[in-house]
Structure 1
Amino acid sequence: MEDHLDHLSLPCGRDRVCQLKDSLAEKQWIGFDLDDTLHEFRRASSAASIKVFEAMHERYGVLLDELKSLYGEILRTSTSNAFTDGKSSSEYRRERFLAVASHFSLPLEHDTPFLSQLLHLYETSLEESLELKSGALDLLKTIKRLNKKIVVITEGPQDAQEWTVQKLGISPYIDFLATTNHFKVSKTDGLFSRVLETLGITASEIAYVGDNEYRDMKPAIAEGILSFHLAENLETKPTSQKPRMNSMATPGCLNSPESTHSLHNSSPKDKDYAREVIEEGNDVYRPGGFHPVYIGDVYNERYKILNKIGYGRYSTAWLIEDLKGQVDEHRKFLALKVLSAECYGTGHDIFEKEILTHLRNGNRNLLGYKHIVHLVDDFEHEGPNGKHVCLVFQLYGETLRSFGTLFRESMIPTDLMRRFTIQLLLALDYSHEYGVIHTDIQPSNIFVKFRDYSLIESVYLKNMIVPHQDREDIQYHAIPSQPLQNSYFNESHNILEFDIALGDWGVSSFADRHLTENIQPVPLRAPEVLIKAPWDTKTDFWNLGAVILELYRAVRMFSGRVEPDGHYEVREHLAEIVDLFGPFPKTLLEKGNQDIVRDMFDEEGKVKDTPPMDRPPLDSEAFVPGLDQDRRETFVSFLRGMMKIDPAERLTSEDYLRHPCLFSSEKIETLHQTTIKLNENGYLAEEDGYPNKEAVEPFTLYHFTQPGVSMVEKIENFGLYTLGRDMERRFLRRKVYRGPGWGHLERQLWVNDGTYFPTGRRWIFRNLTMRQTVRPGAIALSPDHISGPNIKVLGFGEVLLSRICWSTSSCMFPTSDTINLTRGIWAGHRFDITTLARHEVDT
């Protein structure tokens, strides 16, 4: 906390910092202004305005300087009421742009498409330029670790400020957002007193930080609030974190924004690529738009609304209680997604419901099935704005966007990242097998599964702030989301047993029927998408590769940003790709849009008219920090295999699951006795079981049976058959018959002792079987029974196969006390599975 006080203009000497710290410690609430206090608003707004002026200049020929000068005057006039008239952000912007056009006698009022284009240009440019102030996120995290509540008291449209905090990545830390627009009163006219009344607190319980002496300090002090003035003219103290300040936010809940950095030759300002997740605001609640949801309402005669937990471009998400569900918590509490009325029935229907149903009805025995966020129920709801499709899902804790902040510098540990990567590949293997392309893989769409559903009632519902909703209001007002972050696990849970699932299939496509050709978050777009060439399931792997680096090492590969204003350009993005992965092959360029290809590329497949990239290579310490050389080279080779420029050279999930990067090393990180404990700095404590510690000896199957290791458990019948059906490439990828190919059945009928199932070169466990015969029961007795040069990779099996125990056996027909191996296509092969019961019998 003392470090953060250096950012403030203190009315005292440094000898009083401790007194101030004590004063702050007594406060239950810490308040902040938003614009130019927590983030660089003026810089972002200026960059967005310039984009609009450039478009107007190009269309109408008005000088840029004249547009800028007039807009400044209009801005000062239009904001004199501190946005207390209750209008939405789009209404304010529309009025300003029309006022500029009217002054110059421009026909903008009658050019509705161009006006809409300007409004969209402003919003996207503003989003690209958003940047937190140095140290802001650290300060917010420190306050939350001290169990304080945070309120933002700011001027501006309610919908715009909610959108801003979400895009900045600080929404999970804010307990209440108060704007002059929502309360319809300025700071100088009593906003602070209204906020105190709403929160039910006194002035002595809160401290406030602002950047403006007149608008912030004086009215707060007049209310009796301890106030701090952020001195913008002073240089802030450098923090220990990497200087990347823009966020990776998502509604409802990745990585700590200040510790996620991008390696490119422009300034470290990255656009939040959660482009499909936008604060809904109030203007979307109109006929054909969003449905007004009120806490306490019951939908479909069974689902009671408890609180808002997220929102997106086409929907809002709510925590619900199933009044007709089972007693156990994991079925009692669910998530409801209420889609906009325009999603269905307008001739441009999205595929989400169809795809979710298609994935849910697939083979539940396939390994990837459980790593998909599946649909539980669906129904239609008729409301004042139209008919809305409502989707019910099992509840998940948070996304990897916020989960990463549990770890230092937002780098997920190796073993946990390996586990997550395997599960993501299994999810893609499942969806691709059923002809579904996700098209939008990003941390905010990867969900961490619940560890303890009882915490919903004992922690989340007990501590949540119920927002005020007035059903008498003519215009419905969006309410802030309160995510389930940190309300789904406790210190007793093993962090290395966490599982994830791939969700948000709202913009996904079928392999043979695309929803749109303009897919993927912009910085994560695959080469074929950027040049408008055909794309298929292989496009997901490029997307995934970039996300894995971001989650594992907190580094973003691409930005496409160009100085001086940091705007995005496709040319810059393509140049960054060429810089890391080499020139575009002619075979791919021939398939792309030839206008783009001629404009962007030279004869060698390199990008024209771009300066040399001043970036380190992908296999450098700067790009992949914190790993030794061998591990870094292995990891980079994994990324390069997944991120081939030509999608035809990319492989399948099955192939990537074979990569040594996903195998445990000879001294792998400890996989047991790791519970969640936070140290004094709020990060996972490094104790005996912490993932960064290394085991003394190789991790073998023997270790699966030791006390404290939860890697061995009984498995269902046909376990190996499921593995074979899931991981072996299906015969001709048939749509109807989803079992193994005829060649596998032939091997079942003519079994030779010593052969392995399957024998195809694509089999993930090819070459992993030991050369000597080992009784299944003997594995639990001594690690000496397992030997061979490749034993180290067997550590891979415990994660991939959901904690089952492998063994090698030459027995032709297993005895009755093991799994019934004679009923599957593995019968008589050396690779089989045993249960704990078999170990106990042999012992």
Structure 2
Amino acid sequence: MIDQSQYNIGVPAEDLALYTPGGYHPVRINDRFRHGRYEILNKLGFGSFSTVWLARDHQNHCNVSIKVVVANKSDAQHGELEILDHIKANGDPQHPGRKHIMQLMESFHHDGPNGRHLCVVSELLGPKTTTVAEKCQNHRLGSRLARRVSQQLLLAVDYLHSCGVAHGDIHMGNVLFRLSETERSSLERIEELNTPLQGNVTRKDGASLDKGMPDYLVEPIEYYAKNKEHLDEIQLVDFGESFFVASPPKSIYTPMSLHPPELVFRRTLSKVIDIWNLGSTTYELVIGRTPFEADFDDRELIPQFQKVVGGVPVEWVLDAINDGVLRERPKNFSAEGFLSLEEEIKRSYSDDFDRSTLELDEEGLQTLGRYLRKTLVVDPAHRATTKDLLRDAWVSATGV
């Protein structure tokens, strides 16, 4: 196991310890993939199981995104690729939500010192909604844009569910703005980006690097649209936690504060976890923070569920105690300061801000509250479906 503390690393980047057999591929700027077709230009990001790169497609003369998966997750049955292939083959091309789902352009394998890596090529997208929100007033999207994004996200989920797929990991970090065709194709836009920020990797004891380790890491950049006011269309990305509705997993990995109640109570999962996270993400898009907060243990969320939306079944708590999920009935200290959903929306959206800067009036907040009440339902059996939500005034009043 690599001890990262024994190395000098010049930039913030992925965990160096994962550059081992079965782990990351050491990608370098200007590397060529797929017989020279794709040229690596910069890094877009990284996760526990992949690094993501901005590349030039010299065959189609456009810029693309390439995800390079760790070798031990790159076998032919890799779940994300299977899901994307299924969506591409079985989805209705006329469904309005299709354009809001990341589209697989192609995939291939690349051999390197740490193994054989699955490479997934997709459309180059713009910034995450989280990044844009951080640069906005009050650190949240304007209400009109937030509403439009939440509407498109609902269409994306409806499309996935029509394909028999649940996303499993909906949050603002997985909702990205699309770029215009010009933005995606232009080499001039690439030249406007900063030179890739590279940091040399060296051992503190002066010894040589092990085989399969990079001699430098690259700090991820954010690829912005040139005209930010044109950021009005999104795509839902990252299908690493997605599953077929007919065969749900026992657990998923998603940000703790967004864990749906059935995951917290270790109950059976289903596609309606997407409905809960659709509601949580819509709340965050408009309000600027998640509706629930957990720092160390997702069981901290249970009293918050009860206080904000109510409806935690007593039998769930008793079953959790009997099964060892809970040792005792949850204490209410983690819900201190929380109000009911409608009161939280009003307080968090408007009470601490200059009302002249707010786009949603009281009626708009009530419309939002009614929509969220249909999504943030503790018992998944009573949660709304995407078809129910598509008829809701939050969506239907303004169109998409």
Shared fold (TM-score greater than 0.5)? Answer: yes
Q: Does 1:619 align with 2:374?
A: no
Report % sequence identity. 28
d(CA) in 1 for partners of 2:58, 2:321: 53
2:42 is equivalent to residue 314 of structure 1: no
C-alpha displacement at 1:619, in angstroms?
Answer: 1.6
Residue 553 of structure 1 pairs with residue 287 of structure 2: yes
Report the AA paired with residue 623 of structure 1: S
- How far residue 505 of structure 1 moved from its aligned partner, in angstroms, is 0.5
Distance 1:303 1:544 in 2: 35
Letter in 2 for 1:320: A
Cα pair 2:196 2:219 within 8 Å, conserved:
no
CA contact (8 A) 2:67 2:119 kept: yes
The one-letter amino acid of 2:288's match is A
1:521 aligns with 2:247: no
- SS at structure 2 position matched to 1:619: helix
The structural deviation recorded for 1:588 is 5.0
Matched, 1:360 2:79: no
User: Is contact 1:618–1:624 with CA below 8 Å preserved after alignment?
Assistant: no
In 2: Cα distance, 1:608 partner to 1:469 partner: 47
Per-residue deviation at 1:459?
A: 3.4
Q: What is the aligned counterpart of 1:407 among 118, 128, 136?
A: 136
Post-superposition offset of 1:515: 4.9
Alignment map for 1:405-444 (pairs within 5 Å): 405-444=134-173
2:375 alignment counterpart: 642
What TM-score do the two structures reach when normalised by structure 1? 0.42
Q: Distance in 2 between matches of 1:515 and 1:292?
A: 31
Q: What per-residue deviation string (whole Å, max 9, x for no partner) do you get for residues 284-332 of structure 1?
A: 111111111111111111111111111111001111111222x4xxxx1
Q: Distance in 2 between matches of 1:359 and 1:461?
A: 34
Give the letter for the 1:357 counterpart: D
Distance across 2 between alignment mates of 1:363 and 1:600: 48
Instruction: Specify which of 94, 114, 127 is matched with residue 385 of structure 1.
Output: 114
Give the AA of the match of 1:353. L
The 3-state SS of whatever aligns with 2:121 is strand
Shift of 1:569: 3.1
Does the 8 A contact of 1:281 with 1:478 survive in 2?
Answer: no
Q: Is the 8 A contact 1:533 1:592 kept in 2?
A: no
Which residue pairs with 1:476 in the alignment?
214
Q: Does 1:584 align with 2:312?
A: yes
Higher RCO by CA contacts (8 Å cutoff, separation 6 or greater): 2
Native 8 Å contact 2:301 2:334 kept in 1 = no
Residue 158 (structure 1) aligned with residue 26 (structure 2): no
How far apart are the structure 1 equivalents of 2:51 and 2:22? 15
2:239 to 501, 505, 509: 505
Q: 1:456 to 1:596 in 2, by over 3 A?
A: farther
Distance in 1 (CA, whole Å) between partners of 2:26 and 2:285 is 35
The verdict on how the C-alpha distance between 1:597 and 1:477 changes in structure 2, with shifts beyond 3 A counting, is same
Query: Do the aligned partners of residues 470 and 522 (structure 1) sit closer, same or farther apart at CA in structure 2, a change above 3 Å counting?
Result: closer
1:30-429 to structure 2, matched below 5 A, reads: 88-89=3-4, 91=5, 158=9, 162=12, 279-301=13-35, 302-325=37-60, 327=61, 332-345=62-75, 350-361=78-89, 362-429=91-158
Q: CA deviation at 1:613?
A: 2.2
Report the structure number with the largest CA radius of gyration: 1
Query: Could you tell me how far 1:393 is from its partner in structure 2?
Result: 0.3
Cα drift, residue 367 of structure 1 = 1.3
TM-score, length-normalised on structure 2?
A: 0.85
**Superposed displacement of residue 417, structure 1:** 1.8
Shift of residue 612, structure 1, vs aligned partner: 6.5
Contact 2:150 2:285 in 1 (8 A): no
Which amino acid is 2:179 matched to? F
Query: Within 2, Cα distance between the matches of 1:549 and 1:584?
Result: 20
Letter aligned with residue 158 of structure 1: I
Shift of 1:645: 0.5
- Where structure 1 has 5 or more consecutive residues not aligned to the other structure, the ranges are 1-86, 93-155, 163-278, 562-567, 602-606, 665-794, 800-843
Residues 296 and 598 (structure 1), Cα distance of their counterparts in 2 relative to 1, 3 Å cut: closer
How far is the alpha carbon of 1:416 from its aligned partner? Answer: 1.7
State how many pairs are aligned: 378
State the one-letter code of the partner of 2:386.
S
Deviations 1:334-380 (A, max 9, x none): 1110000010349xx64100001111122211111111001100001
Over 3 Å counting, the alpha-carbon distance change for 1:456 and 1:477 in structure 2 is farther
Tell me which stretches of 4 or more aligned residues in structure 1 moved more than 6 Å: 469-472
Question: Which of the residues 458, 468, 487 maps onto 2:188?
Answer: 458
Contact 2:250 2:269 in 1 (8 A): no
SS at match of 1:379: strand
Shift in Å at residue 454 of structure 1?
6.2
Structure 1 residues 521 and 600 mapped into 2: Cα distance closer, same or farther (>3 Å)? farther
Deviation at 1:643, TM superposition (A): 0.6
Taking the aligned partners of 2:184 and 2:160, their CA distance within structure 1 comes to: 31
Q: What CA deviation, in whole Å up to 9, does each residue of 1:765-801 have, x standing for no partner?
A: xxxxxxxxxxxxxxxxxxxxxxxxxxxxxx42xx2xx
Separation of aligned partners in 2, 1:647 and 1:282: 40
Match of 1:490 in 2: 227
Structure 1 pair 428/593, CA: closer, same or farther in 2 (3 Å)?
Answer: farther
Q: Does the CA-based 8 Å contact 1:579-1:613 persist in structure 2?
A: no
Specify the alignment match of 1:5 in structure 2.
none
Could you say if the C-alpha distance between residues 305 and 569 of structure 1 is closer, same or farther in structure 2, counting changes exceeding 3 Å? closer
Q: Is the 8 A contact 2:42 2:55 kept in 1?
A: yes
1:19-47: per-residue Cα shift (whole Å, max 9, x none)? xxxxxxxxxxxxxxxxxxxxxxxxxxxxx
Q: Unaligned 5+ residue runs, structure 2?
A: 202-207, 351-357
Distance in 2 (alpha carbons) for counterparts of 1:535 and 1:612: 25
TM superposition shift of 1:571: 3.6
Structure 1 segment 670-689 matched on structure 2, within 5 A? none
Displacement of 1:596: 4.3
Partner amino acid, structure 1, of 2:342? D
Counterpart of 2:387? 654
Cα gap change, 1:597 to 1:609, in 2 (>3 Å): farther
Give the partner amino acid of 1:378: S
Q: How big is the alpha-carbon RMSD for the aligned residues of Structure 1 and Structure 2?
A: 2.8
Which residue identity lines up with residue 306 of structure 1 in the other structure?
L
Q: For the residues of structure 2 that align with 1:529 and 1:370, how far apart are their CA atoms?
A: 29
Secondary structure at 2:349's aligned position in 1? Answer: coil
Letter in 2 for 1:317: V
Contact 1:532/1:593 (CA < 8 Å) preserved in 2? no
Indicate the SS of the match to 1:636: helix
Per-residue deviation, 1:644: 0.4
> By how many angstroms is 1:457 displaced?
2.4
**C-alpha distance in 1, partners of 2:54/2:326?**
51
Contact residue 438 and residue 540 of structure 1 kept, 8 A: yes
The superposition leaves residues 608-628 of structure 1 with CA deviations (integer Å, 9 ceiling, x where unpaired) of 474772323322232333543
Aligned to 2:354: none
Match of 2:9, as an amino acid? Q
In structure 2, distance between residues paired with 1:88 and 1:525? 32
Counterpart-to-counterpart distance in 2, 1:633 and 1:490: 32
Taking a change above 3 Å as real, the CA distance of residues 592 and 489 of structure 1, as seen in their structure-2 partners, is farther
For residue 194 of structure 2, what is the amino acid of its counterpart? M
